[in-house]
Structure 1
Amino acid sequence: MEQSNLTRRLKDLEDNIKLDSALLKNYEDELRYEDDPRRKSKYNRAIEELRESANCHQQEYDRLHQQITGEPTVQMQSVAIQLQQMNNGLDRLYAGQKAIYGNINHLRQGLLAHYEAGEKNIISAITNQLNESQVTTISALLDAIEANQVSDAEMQKILPIIQEGLIILQQRGVTLPVSQEEIAEVINAPQIDFKHRLKVAVPIIPFILDYEGELELGTGINLKEALKQFRARLIGG
């Protein structure tokens, strides 16, 4: 290969690696502060694409390296270092996300233990969309309900808020990860134990809060503030 052609291809490769490395740094920064599972999933898919891109860069580098006789040029060495740095960054980010995923997956499994076998698929679909803080709060509230640390009066206030919030979400076309009819069938069924209806309803709270932040419902109770108070009381948040 002519030296000028080799130099040009190496320059193109170097530029592409720099662009991908800048994207990787941006994703790393965004993921550091992101806790929304849906957006995290989007970033993780983008990172996987960068991994594929890095593999293509490595293949191009190997092809060019084979066509060089003698010692690698300074330009070749520079590209090799940049490739290694990019792969190191991808490995570091992957390891970090794997550890985070393992922790939140453990929390989700603990939350599912509160439910009967036939309900776990529904609850799992909901909690898979919740971040670590939300899962922790919901788990603490479920623990408190089962330990009778939430009074009947408090439960009587919370369930109507969630029922009304679910109706509002339906009216405004906001979809949940599972059929809203399935959830409504349980939480509105008078023949089902009230405490059990509330346990099924509780994981919906973050979706209601995500939609409007603070719902001013007909009950006159602010759900966000109520949850904040429960969190402070139950888990010292």
Structure 2
Amino acid sequence: MEPSNLTRRLKDLEDNIKKDFALLKDYEDALRDEDDPRRKGKYNRAIEQLRESANRYQQEYDQLHQQITGEPTVQMQSVAIQLQQMNSRLYRLSAGQKAIYENINHLRQGLLAYYDAGEKNIIFAITERLNESQITTISALLDAIESNKVSDAEMQNILPSIQEGLSILQQRGVTFPGSQGEIVEVINAPQMDFKHRLKVAVPIIPFILDYEGELELGTGINLKEALKQFMARPRLIGG
């Protein structure tokens, strides 16, 4: 290969690596501050595309390196360093995301432990969409319900709000993950134990809160405020 062609290809490769490295840092910063699972998924997919690009850059660099006789040029060494930095950052990010995923998965399994096998099948897909904070909050509420730390009067206040919010979402064509028909059937089944119905309904709260400003629930119960009050009570955390 002509030296000028080699220099130009290396320059293009170097520019592409710099641009992707800057993007990677931006995505990493955004991902660190993001709680929404959907946007997190978007950033993770973008990072995966950068990982694929880094693999292509490495292959191109290796091909160019084979065409050089003698010692690597300063330009070749510079590109090699940038590739190493990008690969190292991708590796650290991957390791960090794996640790986060394992922690969230552990929390999710703890949440699902409140349900029997049939109920787990109904709400599993919903729990997959909850972030760490939501899982922690819902688990605390489930523990309070299971431990009879939420009174019958309180339960009978919050379930109608969930039912109404869900009904409005259905009317507007909004769906949430999971077996929606089965969930609605359980929540609205008057012959079933009230506590049982509320336990199945609780994981839906975050999805209803996403539309809180638009719903204007006729029950007069503010779900977000009710949830805050539940979590603020020492007896939900202690005993």
TM (norm. structure 1) is 0.97
Alignment of 1:182-221 (within 5 A): 182-213=182-213, 215-221=215-221
Which residue of structure 2 aligns with residue 99 of structure 1?
Answer: 99
Post-superposition CA distance 1:59-99 (Å, at most 9, x none): 00001001111111000000000000000110111111111
Inter-partner Cα distance in structure 1 for 2:169 and 2:50? 37
- What does residue 72 of structure 2 align with? 72
Once the two structures are superposed, what CA deviation does each residue of 1:146-165 show, in whole Å capped at 9, x if it has no partner? Answer: 10000000000010000000
Deviations 1:113-169 (A, max 9, x none): 111101112211001111100000000000000100000000000100000000011
What is the root-mean-square deviation of aligned Cα atoms in Å?
A: 1.2
1:231 aligned onto 2:227: no
Alpha-carbon distance, 1:24 to partner = 0.4
How big is the shift at 1:214? 7.7
Aligned to 1:11: 11
Structure 1 CA distance, aligned partners of 2:164 and 2:137? 21
> Shift in Å at residue 213 of structure 1?
4.5
> What SS is found at the alignment partner of 1:35?
coil
Quote the Cα distance in structure 2 between the aligned partners of 1:166 and 1:180.
10
Identity of aligned residues (%): 86
1:181 aligns with 2:181: yes
Residue in structure 2 matched with residue 122 of structure 1 by the alignment: 122
Structure 2 counterpart of 1:206, one-letter code: P
One-letter code of the match for 1:69?
A: T
Pairwise mapping of residues 116-195 of structure 1 onto structure 2 (< 5 A)?
116-195=116-195
Distance 1:199 1:33 in 2: 30
Aligned partner of 2:112 in structure 1 is 112
User: Residues of 1 paired with 2:40 and 2:28: CA distance?
Assistant: 11
- Cα offset for 1:47? 1.1
Q: TM-score w.r.t. structure 2 length? A: 0.96
Q: Which runs of no fewer than 5 residues in structure 2 stay unpaired?
A: none
Aligned mates of 1:235, 1:82 — CA distance in 2: 49
- Matched residue, 1:29: 29
Distance, in Å, in 2 between the alignment partners of 1:93 and 1:146 is 38
Q: Map Cα deviations across residues 178-222 of structure 1 (whole Å, 9 max, x no partner).
A: 243211100110111110000000000000001235853111111
Q: Distance in 1 between matches of 2:169 and 2:214?
A: 13
Question: Aligned partners of 1:121 and 1:11: how far apart in 2?
Answer: 54
State which drifts further: 115-124 or 64-73: 115-124
In the aligned structure 1, how far is the partner of 2:214 from the partner of 2:34? 21
Does the 8 Å contact 2:183/2:200 carry over to 1? yes
